[in-house]
Chain A
């Protein structure tokens, strides 16, 4: 879809939906989570970080400060979707500025930003949230694209695959993927075998000699039951998504609305999959990425507002959207007009359960993050820094999960939670 046309269309849709003005409800049961990831390290001075008065920061030509309600952002003529987004959703949005990821290596920062650790063995925030209620969902955490660290919660995490793998498996189209011609059972035979397998799995789950065996055969039985539910979706749902965020958003909303998933991870790495790692020509590359990201976010929000929820009037009433990247970029341009890696970044949260319409944190003269009092969300020099762990603890608290076992010693930002 042409982006300008979409903006016009989304504007009408937003008006029809009566957004904004605090449309999102209070705390709801069955809260859902969508993580939108921008891989490569985004330049937050192009949207989130208003640093026009800071001589250590190279701001962009033609960029201007903008605000709506309590949200301030960086506006630019090339990025109308950013303006439309904040004008319509500022009431429900919290921008976290100055989130520290304590590294400048992509792989490590990606782990830290999503798990709070550097080992890669810990589950990420959406996996933890999904696993907390995994029996209720066929695919508790659906990963359409982007990073996903299942840790020891792999039973709760399912990928769609970037080439339509899940759809091919569910539909049976995978038959044509095999180099050696093979014939899979038709639907009738498949159903007979599935029924046989369900009985077998149930019987096997009742017979075990050790705790580990009990867990394994139990997980198998649970998976077989969910497999039936998953196959039923082949007539009504398509798991295939392109790299376009709008397309991924369609699958995400479908999965949440049908109660298939509690959490979904999406990513936007550009139309060519080039990512956000702009060590050269930062401005010419970052600007369209931001515009396309927010155009996709707009479509996602419109869909959430226009789709009935599973335990609330709309999905928007029960779904938190978190937009993040593994790191920020240096405040100053380098010799190639690019920007290198920076350990302070931002995150955008939009959804219910937040005291929205505010920017939390900020940056000092050298573009380090300000310390923030977790209880109030206000900048306080003696408080801890905002960190990836802070964000994680906050997301887990938002989902009514004790963050202690996952991010010990870090207080959630209760000041932004209702």
Chain B
């Protein structure tokens, strides 16, 4: 894609000449903090940048060292891998996982490749590790199902190794990717080949137009095989796709319902002879092992360009276009100059004028990257502010599951039907936002009232004031909440304070409960449009 854009750009496209209007430093700090850490800036960070805008870049730089950076990278790449789904065609009864919350098991499976990307990003490893590493990421749930050298008795995500002799091919050798993208005898791993091509080369065979030749008898297997090798309409894809598919037969399974799908099977690597009839090769270069495929992808110029495309699209939340070509080249150069580390690519995109634009001025279209939070981002910023995690009675994250929660109602991608997060709100999303806001506000107000020595959000009031007895403290509290939540300094006599105090009074009039009134005011702030858009 990037190559195509570069070629087209040199022919007939003029760069946008106007100057781009940048966000003010505080808004940019908020945008970068949410993108890189999944949380809003702390009061100290806000005050530092407010006092000296020159501190902005240094403050953003600290976000890359934040332990939450890896999680955010994983969350972002979930839209690329589409492994966070609840639709695995796997019999989990084959595994001894009764001690775990099933939703967490499903989430862990989907997270395996994403955590690898996060690990590569957080540790400044080269992106080539994504397709060549001899390690993966796993937690205790995956360790209970898969052949891994995960340390006994420990918990949490760790960098580990498979112990079944599978080739070193990074995510290409991960169980999760191929549990998500399974194959059949007639498909013969072509789906997997296309998945690898789509994710790592940004080359999706499925978007190519095809004509279905009615002269091929689908009831005749020999005729179908012959067509795949001779029909021009078929050859368009199968010439290069089938040799890629041949690499994946170590993941060939005979019984999807058994535990054999947890294992890589070196003895089946040559099953392409039976099911495909085409030996492994990477665009004409023969290979034999999945490790060869990983090495080939790592050496392909399209691979870093594809990562540039992914990161740019994920951070700007729009498709790259012809007019982005110059900037994509800059990002690619930054990635290469930065030792192929994802953080260098993130830095380049976040430093770009397009990422920092505040208005349409100077942009080649209506491309201001004002974004709506994803369900994960909505949950993580609320949890960071309040300590409240919205979990169901079994412990599953209500914002991350569709089976028992509100993932797609909150605009989230389910990995199967909704393959991208929603980019604008609808009625169910604001309803989910409301219920989360109410729960989190109730939780944190009561917590701060119970333990005023360690307040999370309420340091200015004691929950005994009324407008008659403590108007100044209440005003200060509202000002502090606006600063903490939105980075805004609102005036004591401004409309925001007036409106929030009016709401407080209305709520207090219902049952004379100051805690409930503050919870109501805070829930309204969590429901604010500026809590959704950043």
Residues of chain A at the chain B interface (Cβ within 8 Å): 56, 100, 102, 104-105, 107-108, 110, 117-121, 138-139, 147-150, 152, 154-159, 161-163, 165-166, 169-170, 172, 174-175, 177-180, 182-186, 188-189, 192-193, 196-197, 199-201, 204, 209-213, 215-217, 219-220, 223-224, 226-227, 230, 330-332, 340-343, 366-368, 385
Contact = CB atoms under 8 A, between A and B. Distances in A.
A223 B426 contact: yes
Given A158-B427, A210-B359, A385-B214, A220 B439 contact: no
Contact of A149 (B418, B430, B519): B418
Contacts of A169: 406, 409, 428, 431-432, 435
Contacts of B523: 185, 193
Contact of A211 (B360, B372, B506): B360
B151 interface: no
29 contacts: A105-B184, A119-B204, A120-B417, A147-B416, A154-B422, A154-B423, A155-B424, A161-B406, A165-B409, A166-B409, A174-B435, A178-B392, A178-B393, A179-B392, A184-B442, A189-B507, A192-B510, A193-B524, A196-B502, A197-B527, A204-B528, A211-B366, A212-B367, A215-B424, A220-B529, A342-B218, A367-B219, A385-B212, A385-B214
B191 interface: yes
A240 to B, nearest CB: 14
A185 B368 CA distance: 36
A279 B523 CA distance: 52
B406 A216 contact: no
A29 to B, nearest CB: 24
B419 interface: yes
Q: What is the interface of chain A mostly: helix, strand, loop, or mixed?
A: mixed
A169 to B, nearest CB: 5
A155 B394 CA distance: 31
Given A149-B418, A197-B524, A217-B533, A178 B428 contact: no
A319 to B, nearest CB: 22
Nearest to A178: B439
Interface stretch (B59-67, B272-280, B320-328, B395-403): B395-403
B425 A177 contact: no
Given A105-B191, A118-B206, A342-B218, A193 B427 contact: no
Contact of A180 (B368, B388, B409, B528): B388
Contacts of B427: 138-139, 158, 223, 226-227, 230
Given A201-B529, A213-B368, A158 B426 contact: yes
A162 B206 CA distance: 30
Given A163-B404, A193-B503, A201-B529, A179 B391 contact: yes
B420 interface: yes
A210 B409 contact: no
B384 interface: no
Contacts, number: 215
B358 A210 contact: yes
B443 interface: yes
A334 B520 CA distance: 63
A166 B428 CA distance: 8
Contact of A155 (B206, B420, B426, B516): B426
A165 B186 contact: no
A118 B367 CA distance: 26
Contacts of A331: 219
B13 interface: no
A330 B186 CA distance: 13
A399 to B, nearest CB: 20
Interface centre among B427, B507, B524 (most CB of A within 10 A): B427
Interface string B506-523: 110010000010011001
B510 A216 contact: no
Given A182-B442, A211-B366, 20 more contacts: A100-B212, A102-B210, A107-B416, A118-B207, A119-B206, A150-B417, A166-B431, A169-B409, A186-B510, A193-B507, A196-B499, A196-B502, A200-B529, A204-B530, A209-B359, A210-B358, A210-B360, A216-B532, A220-B533, A227-B434
Contacts of A157: 426
Contact of A368 (B214, B388, B418, B510): B214
Given A180-B388, A368-B214, A196 B530 contact: no
Contacts of A147: 416-417
Interface bracket on B: 35 or more
Contacts of A209: 358-359, 368
Nearest to B430: A223
A224 B434 CA distance: 10
B360 A177 contact: no
A155 B438 CA distance: 23
Q: Which 10 A-B pairs rank lowest in CB-CB distance, beginning with the nearest?
A: A154-B422, A211-B366, A118-B206, A210-B368, A120-B419, A182-B439, A179-B391, A226-B427, A220-B529, A219-B424
Contact of A216 (B416, B502, B529): B529
Interface string B33-72: 0000000000000000000000000000000000000000
Contacts of B367: 212
A107 B85 CA distance: 13
Contacts of B250: none
Contacts of B530: 204
A194 to B, nearest CB: 8
B187 interface: yes
B431 A170 contact: yes
Nearest to A364: B214
Interface string B403-417: 111101101000011
A137 to B, nearest CB: 10
Contacts of A100: 212
Contact of B529 (A139, A180, A217): A217
Contacts of A182: 388, 438-440, 442-443
Given A119-B206, A192-B503, A213 B533 contact: yes
Nearest to B437: A193
Contacts of B303: none
B91 to A, nearest CB: 14
B409 A155 contact: no
B179 interface: no
B394 to A, nearest CB: 8
Contacts of B507: 185, 189, 192-193
Contacts of B510: 186, 188-189, 192
Contacts of B411: 154
B390 interface: yes
Contacts of A121: 419-420
Contacts of B406: 161, 165, 169
A200 B496 CA distance: 10
A402 B460 CA distance: 58
A276 B370 CA distance: 43
Contacts of B369: 212
B533 to A, nearest CB: 5
Contacts of A174: 435
Given A154-B423, A155-B425, A230 B533 contact: no
